[in-house]
C-alpha cells in the first residue's frame, strides 16, 4: 500500500513474497528478508549493545560525544499514539509499528553517560526533540520524501 501511495513501483514487494491480503497494510518490515543470521531479537540487541559499549569506551576522555543510532533509544522519541484505550483507525499503522521502532535498552545505556551531549536517531520518520538531564535527544524525522536536518555546532 505504501509503494502504491507513493507511486514507487521500485518499492513494491516481490509477488511470491507477499500475499495479496498483506499488500493492504501501509508498512512491512523486511528485516527477516534482508538481515540474515538473526534467530533471536534479544541476542541481536545484546551484540549491538556490546559493540556500542566498546565504541563508547574507545572515546573515554573525549570532551564531547554525539551518539547516533538508527532506531529510537527511548519511548519519548517515538511518534505519539494512544498507549491505552482505542486507537483511531487512521493511526492503526503507526500503533502497529511502535513494536519495531526502537529499543529502550539502548537509551538506558546512553542516558547520563558523561560526555554525551546529543543522542540522535531516525527510523520513525517523525521529528521529536527532548532534553534529558544534560543531554539533547533527537529523532531527526526525515522520511523518504522529506528531509529534516539537525545542525550541531562542534
The single residue listed with the C-alpha cell 520524501 is 145
Per-residue pLDDT of 91-117, as tens digits, reads: 777 776 777 788 899 999 999 788 999
pLDDT for res 128: 92
Strand 135-139 and strand 128-132: pairing? antiparallel
The single residue listed with the C-alpha cell 551518539 is 67
Strand 116-121 and strand 135-139: pairing? parallel
The pTM for the full model equals 0.73
What rounded mean pLDDT belongs to the chain?
81
Give the residues of the chain that fall short of pLDDT 50: none
Distance from C-alpha of 104 to C-alpha of 30, rounded to nearest angstrom: 21
Amino acid at each position: 500500500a505504501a509503494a502504491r501511495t507513493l507511486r514507487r513501483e521500485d518499492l513494491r514487494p516481490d509477488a511470491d513474497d507477499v500475499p495479496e491480503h498483506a499488500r493492504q497494510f501501509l508498512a512491512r518490515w523486511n528485516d527477516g528478508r534482508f538481515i540474515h543470521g538473526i534467530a533471536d531479537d534479544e541476542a541481536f540487541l545484546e551484540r549491538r549493545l556490546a559493540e556500542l559499549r566498546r565504541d563508547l569506551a574507545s572515546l573515554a576522555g573525549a570532551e564531547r560525544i554525539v551518539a547516533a543510532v538508527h532506531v529510537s533509544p527511548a519511548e519519548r522519541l517515538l511518534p505519539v499514539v494512544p498507549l491505552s484505550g482505542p486507537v483511531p483507525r487512521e493511526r492503526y499503522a503507526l500503533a502497529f509499528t511502535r513494536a519495531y521502532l526502537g529499543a529502550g535498552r539502548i537509551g538506558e545505556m546512553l542516558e547520563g553517560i558523561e560526555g554525551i551531549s546529543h543522542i540522535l536517531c531516525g527510523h520513525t520518520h517523525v521529528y521529536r526533540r527532548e532534553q534529558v538531564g544534560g543531554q539533547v535527544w533527537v529523532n531527526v524525522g526525515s522520511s523518504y520524501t522529506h528531509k529534516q536536518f539537525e545542525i550541531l555546532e562542534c
